[in-house]
Amino acid sequence: MMIELVNVSKTFNNGHKALKNINIKIDNGEFVFLVGPSGAGKSTLIKLLLKEIDPDDGKIIINGKDVTKLKRREIPYLRRSIGVVFQDFRLLPDKTVYENVAFAMEVTEASPKDIRRQVPIVLSLVGLSKKANLYPNQLSGGEQQRVSLARAIVNGPSILIADEPTGNLDPDTSWEVMKSLNEINHRGTTVLMATHAKDIVNAMKKRVIAIEDGTITRDDMKGGYGI
Amino acid sequence: MKLRTYKYFFKESVKSIWRNKVMSLASIGSVMSALLVIGIFLILVLNVDYLAQKLESQVEIKVHLVDGLSDNIIKDIQKEIEGLEGVKEIVFVSKDQALKEFSESLGENSYLLEGLEGDNPLSDSFVVTLVDPRLAPKVTLAIKAMSNIENVVYGKEILEKLLDITYFLRIGSLAIVGILFLISVFIISNTIKLTVFARRREIGIMKYIGATDWFVRGPFFFEGVLLGFLGSIISISLLATGYYFLSRYIEQQMFGLLVVSLMPFNEVLNTLIVALLIFGVIIGSLGSMISIRKFLRV
Ligand SMILES: Nc1ncnc2c1ncn2[C@@H]1O[C@H](COP(=O)(O)OP(=O)(O)OP(=O)(O)O)[C@@H](O)[C@H]1O
Ligand SMILES: [Mg+2]
């Protein structure tokens, strides 16, 4: 079991109950969509997995470790085992495509030799080998998102989490990104993607977990988006 | 931690200093002025100490005898003083000898003393040197208690005044240095705050891709240390140059007139470099640690 949430609840400081008694199990190598209306609690769930916030109670187990029990200084190592991408790409504007990806390895003190070997591999995986020396503002939205995908996987995480990765993209470029995500999943990385993109969810025929108002309302192995 | 990580910290901190030129200059300037004042006080204290030490090692007790003693009595007194604890050497200077030395010390002005040979106003005396200058008060008291002694003098007053001066110098400099120290720390922490603000995007990304706390903080810490270091290098150069020319000037202008000189340039320089570098780096790292703690909650 890659990810397991047991009776997880989260109440924010203002008293808002964003998640109520959530139970989820995600296996090694699965591709899972997380859907639900705005404000349902999808991003909150992702923040819990990254230990950006802590639950009121319950267990969150990732790669066999209870994340809620991790010490502060262990958090960076948790995050190295989980790649993340966001709706807004979060690339550094003054670094090239290559440098943006390499940066993720530099941060983990990888050797220059490993960096020189690994970065071209992930850039070709997302189809951006030819754009390595361009800056983010010289790329289309889809390309920028694929750079951030490359950065998320360059350290070889076992899990990739994407929070509305196609939220800022038109349908065509969205599919470029989905192809890359699918490719990454085929190579063995577990993928969890929160999204509002109905077409994509319906076409991909993957497991769908639906959340509404902080509770899980549906968990279909080959489901579509729903209503 | 790996060498290339330090290189990365260094590169990033140089970049920030360059990008943030105005605030960086202000920081370096404030560290520099604080260290200049610290350095000037340090030089003063060093020199007064130096002077006091020189004087202390030169302490000798002058014992003036009442006029008209017979040679025998003088010999008795000499034996008695020699017998005191702590006396290293005792030399008899007759009043004729004293007059001759005095007249020699006046050089071409010695005509002032002409005609005094028959009616010498000076007295016979002993010059007593001690094994330890700190015994001077005790030995002085003992000699004063003997008979046929006119008076006993040693350089006590000057020495004590000097020690008083160093005391006030130390207290005064401590207060001023403390204030300047705090101002510099504040300005540096403000500069680092700006850098943290300018790079908050990057910091956020670093956290998501699994950078450790110290990795995120490293460049900011280095930036503060570097600012403090640059400030101290500049202040050391200014002070060293100033001291070099001052001590040369004094030597040339007042040659022979001063009993004691300034502390040698090299000795001052060594202390100055060590003290100001340490101060500068402490100011810098304190400044960056304050902002890192306040503005970089990773
Ligand atoms: N820091 C916070 N403090 C208080 N309430 C919060 C906080 N973060 C989120 N919430 C609330 O928790 C609920 C769930 O938010 P969340 O961001 O998880 O929704 P979401 O499912 O990701 O929505 P969207 O699809 O619009 O991204 C919302 O009602 C939101 O207002
Ligand atoms: Mg969200």
Statement: residue A210 has pLDDT above 90: yes
| Closest Cα to atom 22 of ligand 1 | A43
Contact B236, B273 (CB under 8 A): yes
- B255 falls in which pLDDT band (50, 70, 90)? low
For B215, the closest chain A residue by CA position comes to A107
Instruction: Please identify which residue in the block is written with the tokens 């080998």.
Output: A129
pLDDT digits 0-9 by tens, B103-150: 777 766 777 777 776 777 788 888 888 887 777 778 888 888 888 888
Measured in angstroms, how far is the CA atom of residue A88 from the centroid of ligand 2? 12
pLDDT at A143 over 80: yes
B204:A90 CB<8 A: yes
> Ligand 1 pocket test: which of A14, A16, A211 has the largest number of ligand atoms within 8 Å of its C-beta?
A16
CA–CA distance, A22 with A125 (Å, rounded to integer): 34
The verdict on a CB contact (< 8 Å) between B5 and A155 is no
Q: Is B44 or A142 the better-scoring residue by pLDDT? A: A142
Query: Residue A166 Cα, ligand 2 centroid: separation in angstroms?
Result: 12
- For residue A38 and ligand 1, the question of a CB distance below 6 A is answered with yes
Q: Give the pLDDT of residue B139.
A: 85
pLDDT of A165 strictly over 90: yes
ipTM of the complex: 0.87
Least confident of A20-24, A117-121, B8-12, B258-262: B258-262
Q: 3-state DSSP call for residue B227?
A: helix
Which residues place a Cβ less than 5 A from the ion ligand 2? A 43
Q: What is the pLDDT of residue A206?
A: 94
Token couple for B140: 């002085």
Distance CA A184, CA A46 (A): 19
**In this structure, what DSSP letter does residue A5 have?**
E
Tell me if A191 sits within 8 A of A35, measured CB to CB: no
- What lies within 8 Å, CB to CB, of B280 at 6+ separation is B31, B35, B228, B229, B231, B232, B233, B235
Alpha-carbon distance of A64 to A61, in angstroms, equals 6
Residue A57 pLDDT grade (very low, low, confident, very high; cuts 50, 70, 90): very high
Burial status of residue B270 (CB atoms within 10 A of its CB: 0-12, 13-18, 19 or more): exposed
Q: What is the mean pLDDT of residues A184-204?
A: 94
Query: Is the overall model pTM greater than 0.90, yes or no?
Result: no
| Phi/psi at B155 (5° precision) | -75, 35
pLDDT tens digit string along A108-130? Answer: 999 999 999 999 999 999 999 99
Kindly write down the DSSP assignment for every residue of A98-152, as one continuous string. HHHHHHHHHTTT--HHHHHHHHHHHHHHTT-GGGTTS-GGGS-HHHHHHHHHHHH
Contacting residues for A183 by C-beta, under 8 A, at least 6 apart = A125, A126
| pLDDT of the residue at A68 | 93
Tokens 């903080």 correspond to what residue?
A: B217
